[in-house]
Amino acid sequence: MRIGILTGGGDCPGLNAVIRGIVIRANKENYDVFGFTDGWRGVLENKGENLTKERVEDIHREGGTILGTSRTNPFKEKEGLERIKETLKERKIDVLVAIGGDDTLGVANKLYREGIKTIGIPKTIDNDLSSTDYTFGFDTAINIAVEAIDRLHTTAKSHHRVLVVEIMGRHAGWITLEAGIGGGAHIILIPEVPFNLEEVCQILLERKKKGKNYSIVAVAEGAKAAKGSKFLTREVTKEEKTDAFGNIILGGIAKVLEKEISKRTGIETRSVILGHLQRGGRPSAFDRFLATRFGIKAVEMLKEGKIGQMASLRGTEITSVPLEEAVGKTKQVPVSLYQETAEILQGE
């Protein structure tokens, strides 16, 4: 048995732990593992390396992915499907394990429908994949964001400023909500709950009136104002073009809010975009454990014939769900969860 693996989409801490989990588990069955370079691009171009136990030794504690990644969409490439089929035939790959978010797993699902044997492993710092309680990478990202917010408190307090911190998560506010609560942000703005800038400024002014001379605003990169507002009713984008999967490239809302808040409240305001810091560096213990379990599970799934499925965390159990069910639906923060947490703590 020969397993092909690839890591696609945005990197995240824990990818190397999955790779190691797969190789060690596969080794016990005498299965070979071949790692494709740079996501789907490596399969299209037939590039990669044999992954031995020696090659993956100790990699679980390192961030990024030893295989490299890309946002290549093979269905947007000339003769993409045929080239993938050719590579798999040439390399004698029996099953392809795709480690990625919705875009990468969406491709794995399409390939499965085309008769190619695929298995999916969910990853993303955004935690926005449905059909799994958590994706690895998320825990590390929230810890980085909490640490950043903690640090922003001391400088904001010393200068009596408002500090706006922009946090990743595209169309889901999980990182912003959990890190915002953990870090004690006074206002939390997420895509699921469109905001009213007047109200935001009011809360900041009220805090000042009460003698609380600084504030932290945690804003998700994809947050926007409520309909009817004259301002920010569209997400702030870094550039107009989209990536190969049609995703808009977000970024810059903190800068816009910095200017507006300062203009409307007269309070000195600064902004910071955490950006890719949230994706870099070593995985947390939680992510190392989850990623390793997912890697091991992929080989178990293969043994049990659970093809066309994705490994998934449900409660404390690792199980599997059909890829068809898992892809194409963004798991957003329920508005009720925001109300029970961010709204209760707002301004406090």
Q: CA 32, CA 26: separation in Å to the nearest integer?
A: 7
Q: 130 vs 319, which CB is nearer to ligand F6P? A: 130
Q: How far out from the chain centre does Cα 27 lie?
A: 29
Q: 25 vs 170, which CB is nearer to ligand F6P? A: 170
253 counts as binding ligand F6P under rule CB under 6 A: no
- With CB under 6 A as the rule, give the number of residues binding ligand F6P: 11
Say if CB 9 and CB 100 are below 8 A apart. yes
124 counts as binding ligand F6P under rule CB under 6 A: yes
Q: CA 106, CA 100: separation in Å to the nearest integer?
A: 9
CB burial of residue 191 (10 Å; 0-12, 13-18, 19+): buried
H/E run at residue 322: strand 317-322
Of 72-80, 124-132, 203-211, 334-342, the window that binds ligand F6P (rule: CB under 6 A) is 124-132
CB burial of residue 67 (10 Å; 0-12, 13-18, 19+): buried
Taking the complex as a whole, how short is the minimal distance between the CB of residue 172 and ligand F6P, in angstroms? 9
Q: 32 vs 126, which CB is nearer to ligand F6P? A: 126
Scan residues 8-47 and list those touching ligand F6P (CB under 6 A): 10
Say if CB 225 and CB 197 are below 8 A apart. yes
- From residue 161 to residue 180, the character string flagging contacts with ligand F6P as x (rule: CB under 6 A) and all else as - is -------xxx----------
Q: 39 vs 48, which CB is nearer to ligand F6P? A: 39
326: left (phi over 0), alpha (psi -120 to 50) or beta: alpha
Scan residues 265-294 and list those touching ligand F6P (CB under 6 A): 279
Of 23-31, 122-130, 203-211, 286-294, the window that binds ligand F6P (rule: CB under 6 A) is 122-130
Contact positions vs ligand F6P (CB under 6 A)? 10, 101, 124-126, 168-170, 221, 250, 279
Which residues are designated catalytic? 126
